[in-house]
Amino acid sequence: MYMPPGTTLRLDPRDEYTHPPEPVGNYNESMYFNAFDSARRIGAWVRIGNRPNEGHAEMSCCVYLPDGRVGFMFSLPAITGNDAMDAAGMRFEVIEPFRHHRVRYRGELLIMDDPLAMADPSSAFKRYPKRPAEIELDFEGVSPMHGGEIVGPDGQPIELDPEHAVYRGHTEQNMAVEGHITVDGVRHPFSGGTGYRDKSWGPRHWHSFFWYKWLPVTFSRDFGILLSIKGRPEGGPDRISGNVLRGGVYEPVIDGRIETHYDAQWYPQGLTARVTTAQRTYELQGRVLTTVPLRHRKVGAADWRTYTRITESLTEYTCEGRTVLGMTEYCDLMNDGVPISEQQSLAA
């Protein structure tokens, strides 16, 4: 995560729970989990983002089924406060801070045989059927916590510009996953699953992200790679961060590069990432299996800087002889249909 000069991180178990909302309209508190059973070829990610000062939450649920179909649901349920992560049939529970979380969902999923249809969500929700789904997953932390709340030298919260901020605090962790996902009556058990989670709180506009590429991959209980690369609107060197989990210890990332192969619509098809720590350089190969494109548009505006696309890609990763399913998440402002990260890269 990006740290302004002179700031530090404060990691507190109480931050696993919800916070009193700040008095800004775009206050956001969100939790995200992903989970994969590589042997059964199934994956999922879920998110709740509370926006109590706007009177609603954002609930997203995505399941990548073994036959290539995708189950997806998004809704903006009304909320009146920020007391819990519980919205539209999705609930996140903190069983033990930093160690154990539980995810439950009871509701419907839109079942798509062409997940790229979500590029036009209105059409997709009319075209595809909804089917009942149930998720019961337990997440066990297998790594140290990474991140925390950004504070000043005096230990006090820093002042943020709510129009340009994306979070006040941010935490991440590699996970082991057990449980099951049931879609349209078919039960898919998770046994020896892997996953990742993150949490953020503070003011956020999605359009405040210029671009980022986020690769959270957990190969096993003792090996995982996180690489995050963020672009700067003003240009200059990208902001690179992350960790390599090895034997229960994090090796901080000091440099990273991602080379992505895209199709004609600028959807990722595969990638090679080189991740450098003080100890060594790792090469991560990714083969994209399925992509779900999501978008955020600022209400009442039409400038290209108000259209953000996020691609959520189920990816088969290989590194040091190990292979596992994981996520590739790219977020870009889109200019004439082209990701700004690629335009910026070509112009460099």
Average pLDDT per block of 10 residues along the chain, 348 residues long: 78 96 92 98 98 96 98 97 97 98 98 96 96 98 94 84 78 98 97 96 75 97 96 86 95 97 97 98 98 79 69 98 98 90 76
Q: Domains in the chain, ordered, with CATH?
A: 24-204 (2.40.370.10), 207-348 (2.40.370)
The secondary structure of the chain, three-state, reads: CCCCCCCEEECCHHHHCCCCCCCCCCEEEEEEEEEEECCCCEEEEEEEEEEHHHCEEEEEEEEECCCCCEEEEEECCECCCCCCCEECCEEEEEEECCCEEEEEEEEEEEEECCHHHHHCHHHHHHHCCEEEEEEEEEEEECCCCEEEEEECCCCCECCCCCCCCCCCEEEEEEEEEEEEEEECCEEEEEEEEEEEEEEEEEECCHHHCCEEEEEEEEEECCEEEEEEEECCCCCCCCEEEEEEEECCEEEEEEEEEEEEEECCCCCEEEEEEEEEECCCEEEEEEEEEEEEEEEEECCCCCCHHHEEEEEEEEEEEEECCEEEEEEEEEEEEEECCEEHHHHHHHHC
pLDDT at 7: 86
Q: In the Cβ-directed half-sphere of 9, how many Cα atoms lie within 13 Å?
A: 13
pLDDT at 235: 80
pLDDT at 181: 98
